[in-house]
C-alpha cells in the first residue's frame, strides 16, 4: 500500500511539472517564460579598482598616455573542456586586455579587428563611400589620418594544470540491521592553476621593452550527503550535494588586469608603490614622466621587485588601493 502511495505522489509531481510547458504557444508567441531575474552587473576583478585609481592618479598629475594597441593573446594550452563542448580556456583574452587598458585610462587604437575599417577604406578608394557634406559627395582619406600605436602587447595563455593537488573524504555509517537508516557523506577539494605570458613591444622599433609572466591558482570543492533506509515495504534513498569552482575565465581576466596594471604604471611613469596614494608625490621612473622612446627598456626597473608582491594592486590586500577608495573598506 505504501509503495502505491509513493508511485501516486511521484506521478502527480510529474504531471504538475508537465503543465508548465505546453505544445501550443501563447498570445505572446512563447511556449514558456524564461526563469531568473538577475540584473546585469559589472564584471570587476580584485585589480579593477587599482586600474581606475591609476587612471585617476595619472590624470591628476598630467601624465600623458601613449597610444596602445592590443594584438592576439591566444590560448596556447590546447586544453579541452573536461565536460566537453570546446576549449577550457576563454578565447577572448585580447578583449579582456582592451577593457583593462580602458579602465587604466590608456589611449587605444584598434588593431585586433580591422575588417570594417579595411572594407570602408577599399570602398573609399573606389569612390563608393559617401559622406554627407563631403566634397564631390564621396569620402576622402587624407594621408596620415590613422594614428599609429606607440606600443602594443602580445602573448598568450600558456598554462592550465587541472589538478595540482586534490583531497577527499568518504564516510558511510549505519546499523548492522538492514532496516535501520544508513548515512553517507562525501567531500572533495582540488586546486588547479592558469598562467599567462605577455610582452610589451615598442611599435616603432619592435623592441620588447617589458615581459610579464603570472599564474593564479583556482580552487574547487564538492560535497554530497545521503540517507538510505527501508520504510515499511518501500525503499527511501535521499541524497543532496553541491559543487563549486572558482571561475576559470574570471581568473584569466584577473591575470590580464594585473599584468595591464604593471604595464600601465610603467607607461605612465608612475611608481608602483604610489599607484593610488593621491596625497603622496608621484615618483617618476624617468625624466620624461612616461615611457621613453629611446630608453624604454630601462624604464620601470624600480618596479620589478614590487611586481612580485601578491598584495600589489589587490583591492583587499593592497593598502594603497584601500586609501585610494577613501574609506570604502574601512
Using alpha carbons, select from 221, 164, 161 the residue that is nearest to residue 195: 161
Q: How would you list the strands of the sheet with 107-108, edge to edge?
A: 107-108, 67-75, 151-174, 182-202, 208-231, 234-245
Instruction: Cell numbers for 295, please give them.
Output: 630608453
Second-level CATH architecture of 54-109+147-324: 3-Layer(aba) Sandwich (3.40)
Helix axes of 93-103 and 48-61: crossing angle, nearest 10 degrees? 40
Q: What is the pLDDT of residue 2?
A: 59
Of 1-5, 29-33, 117-121, 177-181, the poorest mean pLDDT is in 1-5
Average pLDDT, the chain: 81
Q: Contact 310/214 with Cβ under 8 angstroms?
A: no
Q: Contact 166/188 with Cβ under 8 angstroms?
A: yes
Instruction: Cell numbers for 141, please give them.
Output: 582619406
Percent of the chain with pLDDT over 90: 39
Asked whether residue 99 carries a pLDDT value surpassing 70, the answer given is yes
pTM value surpassing 0.85: no
Report d(CA 72, CA 91) in Å as an integer.
10
Q: Contact 37/89 with Cβ under 8 angstroms?
A: no
Q: What is the pLDDT of residue 237?
A: 82
Could you give the count of Cα atoms lying within 13 Å of 296 in the half-sphere of its Cβ?
21
Q: Contact 121/142 with Cβ under 8 angstroms?
A: no
Q: What is the pLDDT of residue 219?
A: 93
The H or E element spanning position 40 is none
Q: Contact 284/269 with Cβ under 8 angstroms?
A: yes
How do beta strands 151-174 and 67-75 pair? parallel
Q: Kindly list the domain boundaries of the chain, sorted by start residue.
A: 54-109+147-324, 110-146
pLDDT tens digits, residue range 49-76? 889 888 988 888 888 899 999 999 999 9
Which band of pLDDT confidence, cut at 50, 70 and 90, is reported for residue 140? confident
Which band of pLDDT confidence, cut at 50, 70 and 90, is reported for residue 28? confident
Report d(CA 90, CA 191) in Å as an integer.
19
φ/ψ (deg, to 5) at 322:
-65, -35
Looking up cell 565536460, which residue turns up?
83
Mean pLDDT of 121-130: 87
Of 97-101, 146-150, 304-308, 316-320, the poorest mean pLDDT is in 304-308
Q: What is the pLDDT of residue 6?
A: 61
Mean pLDDT of 226-240: 80
Residue 307 CA: distances (Å) to CA of 48, 51, 275: 16, 15, 12
Instruction: Cell numbers for 223, please give them.
Output: 560535497
pLDDT tens digits, residue range 270-296? 765 666 654 332 233 332 333 433 333
Higher pLDDT, 198 or 280: 198
Q: Contact 48/257 with Cβ under 8 angstroms?
A: yes
Q: What is the pLDDT of residue 284?
A: 32
Asked whether residue 327 carries a pLDDT value surpassing 50, the answer given is no
The H or E element spanning position 315 is none
Amino acid at each position: 500500500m505504501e509503495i502505491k502511495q509513493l508511485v501516486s505522489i511521484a506521478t502527480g509531481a510529474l504531471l504538475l511539472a508537465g503543465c508548465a510547458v505546453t505544445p501550443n504557444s501563447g498570445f505572446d508567441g512563447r511556449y514558456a517564460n524564461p526563469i531568473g531575474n538577475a540584473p546585469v552587473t559589472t564584471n570587476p576583478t580584485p585589480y579593477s579598482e587599482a586600474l581606475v585609481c591609476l587612471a585617476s592618479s595619472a590624470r591628476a598629475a598630467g601624465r600623458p598616455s601613449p597610444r596602445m594597441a592590443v594584438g592576439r593573446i591566444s590560448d596556447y594550452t590546447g586544453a579541452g573542456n573536461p565536460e566537453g563542448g570546446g576549449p577550457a580556456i576563454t578565447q577572448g583574452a585580447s578583449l579582456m586586455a582592451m577593457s583593462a587598458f580602458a579602465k587604466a585610462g590608456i589611449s587605444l587604437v584598434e588593431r585586433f579587428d580591422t575588417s570594417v575599417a579595411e572594407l570602408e577604406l577599399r570602398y573609399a578608394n573606389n569612390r563608393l563611400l559617401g559622406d554627407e557634406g563631403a566634397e564631390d559627395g564621396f569620402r576622402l582619406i587624407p594621408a596620415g589620418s590613422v594614428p599609429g600605436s606607440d606600443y602594443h602587447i602580445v602573448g598568450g595563455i600558456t598554462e592550465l594544470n587541472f589538478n595540482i593537488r586534490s583531497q577527499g573524504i568518504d564516510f558511510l555509517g549505519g546499523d548492522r540491521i538492514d532496516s535501520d537508516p544508513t548515512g553517507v557523506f562525501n567531500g572533495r577539494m582540488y586546486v588547479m592553476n592558469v598562467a599567462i605570458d605577455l610582452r610589451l613591444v615598442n611599435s616603432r622599433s619592435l623592441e620588447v621593452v617589458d615581459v610579464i609572466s603570472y599564474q593564479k591558482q583556482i580552487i574547487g570543492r564538492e560535497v554530497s550527503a545521503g540517507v538510505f533506509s527501508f520504510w515499511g515495504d518501500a525503499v527511501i534513498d535521499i541524497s543532496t550535494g553541491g559543487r563549486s569552482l572558482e571561475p576559470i575565465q574570471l581568473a584569466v581576466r584577473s591575470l590580464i588586469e594585473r599584468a595591464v596594471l604593471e604595464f600601465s604604471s610603467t607607461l605612465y611613469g608612475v611608481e608602483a608603490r604610489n599607484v593610488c596614494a593621491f596625497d603622496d608625490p608621484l615618483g617618476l621612473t624617468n625624466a620624461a614622466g612616461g615611457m621613453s622612446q629611446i630608453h624604454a627598456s630601462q624604464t620601470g626597473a624600480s618596479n620589478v621587485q614590487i611586481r612580485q608582491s601578491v598584495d600589489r594592486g589587490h583591492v583587499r590586500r593592497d593598502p594603497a588601493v584601500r586609501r585610494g577608495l577613501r574609506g570604502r573598506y574601512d
